[in-house]
Amino acid sequence: MALDVRPRPGGVRVSVRAQPRAARTEIAGVHGDALKVRLCAPPVDGAANEALVAFLAERFGLTRQSVRIVSGHAARTKIVELDGVDVAAVRRVAGED
């Protein structure tokens, strides 16, 4: 199954599968139709969500305000909006180019 990345005005929406409490924070490819991201942070008090936003902002060269979790705050699979990024950039980062 291919990565679910949808263009939207000014950016994209991407499905993200978060894996908290990993040995290191990194992009681990694609899990089903989601971008898999391993996070060092635990899933406690929003720490993993904050780490995910910070990591994606750094990885795509964005500000934290340009990265938003729009659904799945308490789930492993989330929908994330990235402003100023196109579908091709997300596919490159995922290793799907």
Enumerate domains of the chain plus CATH numbers. 5-94 (3.30.1200.10)
7 CB-near residues (< 8 Å, 6+ apart):
86, 87
User: Helices marked H in 1-97 — which ranges?
Assistant: 47-60, 87-94
pLDDT of res. 92:
92
- Rounded to two decimals, the pTM is 0.94
CA triple 44-59-37, angle to 5 deg: 45
The pLDDT score that the predictor gives to residue 95 is 84
**What is the chain's pLDDT, residue by residue, as a tens digit (97 residues)?**
689 999 999 999 999 999 999 999 999 999 999 999 999 999 999 999 999 999 999 999 999 999 999 999 999 999 999 999 999 999 999 887 6
